[in-house]
Amino acid sequence: MVGQSLLHRRLTFPVLVAVIAVAGCSTTSGSGAAAPSAAPSTGVPASPSSDAPRTIPASAFFDMPADMRRERREAEGAAAVPELCDQELAPSSGVLASAAVMNLYEQPDAPAGSVPHGVLYQTIRSYEGDGAAEFMERARNGLAACDSYQKNEYTVEVRTKALSGVADEALTVDLVRPQLDLPGNPTGGEQTNRIVVMRFGAVVTILYDSEYERSSSIPGLVDIFVDEAADAVRAWLD
């Protein structure tokens, strides 16, 4: 089955993202691994009762399997998280640190020269106090009222479900639109791209499996990304 063997491998290729805090970031590029840099001050007053992380290290992000990875780089927050109906997944207040990466990837064992299959974004945010739980509640309530929105000349349906067993609380959000060819003409059928939002205590991570040339998410691959992302966040927080 697609990706089954990936569940049991250790993912070892270098991570290129640097430690990032809310007030700034270290940009990295190229094929070599970047050592995490010291994060600048966030300007957020410290809370003696809060043990939420104030920087996001490279190790907090999961590693795309080497046989799927095409390109990895730091991502802008606006690109990494869709706006949806009314920016239901926007950070809101109380964010201590935030970072995002972009993975251009191909399917496992894709023939040489194949075009990439998709673009996976991962965003990680830490919140002070109850900010992470409040973010999830706001996102859940907002998405309950977000059935669809307009993008260009077509309608995107939004299908949200609770996801159990992977985090303190989690949601899947499927974005469903008409299937188009590259010039933008309808071909029949649907294109579906998946978002997964997970909370681990004071930390939220958002995976957005976006399109590459009108591609849809493959649920089995997204499940692997979710499991690996959850393991990486837990290992960081432990």
Residue type for 209, please? D
Please state, in angstroms and rounded to a whole number, the distance separating the CA atoms of residues 139 and 89.
6
Q: Cα angle vertex 230, ends 225, 232, to 5°? A: 95
Token pair for residue 143? 């998405």
Calculate the average pLDDT of the chain.
Answer: 83
Closest by Cα among 71, 81, 76 to 175: 81
pLDDT at 112: 87
Check if the beta carbon of residue 17 is closer than 8 Å to that of residue 103.
no
pLDDT band at 51 (very low <50, low <70, confident <90, very high): confident
Q: What is the C-alpha end-to-end distance of the chain, expressed in Å?
A: 32
Domains for the chain: give ranges and CATH numbers.
4-39+51-237 (3.40.1000.70)
Find the mean pLDDT for residues 29-36. Answer: 32
**pLDDT 10s digits, 128-150:** 999 999 999 999 999 999 999 99
Q: HSE, CB side, 13 Å, CA atoms: give it for residue 170.
A: 20
Note the pLDDT tens digit of each residue in 209-220. Answer: 999 999 999 999
Rounded percentage of the chain residues whose pLDDT exceeds 70:
79
Beta 148-151 vs 118-127: how paired, if at all?
unpaired
Q: Is the pLDDT of residue 172 over 90?
A: yes
**With bands split at pLDDT 50, 70 and 90, how would you rate the model's confidence at 74?**
very high
**Mean predicted confidence (pLDDT) in 226-235:** 98
Q: What is the pLDDT of residue 92?
A: 87
pLDDT over 80 (residue 23): no
Global pTM value: 0.81
Query: What average pLDDT does the segment 162-168 reach?
Result: 97
Mean pLDDT check: name the lowest of 16-25, 58-67, 89-98, 192-201. Answer: 16-25
Cα 40-56-33 angle, rounded to 5 deg? 95
Give the model's confidence band at 77: pLDDT under 50 very low, under 70 low, under 90 confident, else very high.
Answer: confident
Cβ–Cβ < 8 Å for 120, 107: no
SS3 call for 179: strand
Residue 7 phi, psi dihedral angles, 5° rounding: -65, -20
Answer yes or no: is pLDDT of 237 > 80: yes
The rounded Cα 46 to chain-centroid distance in angstroms is 27
Sheet harboring 186-200: ordered strands across?
69-74, 95-105, 118-127, 203-211, 186-200, 169-180, 154-162, 148-151
> Among 77, 87, 80, which Cα is nearest to 149's?
87
How confident is the model over 14-36, as a mean pLDDT?
36
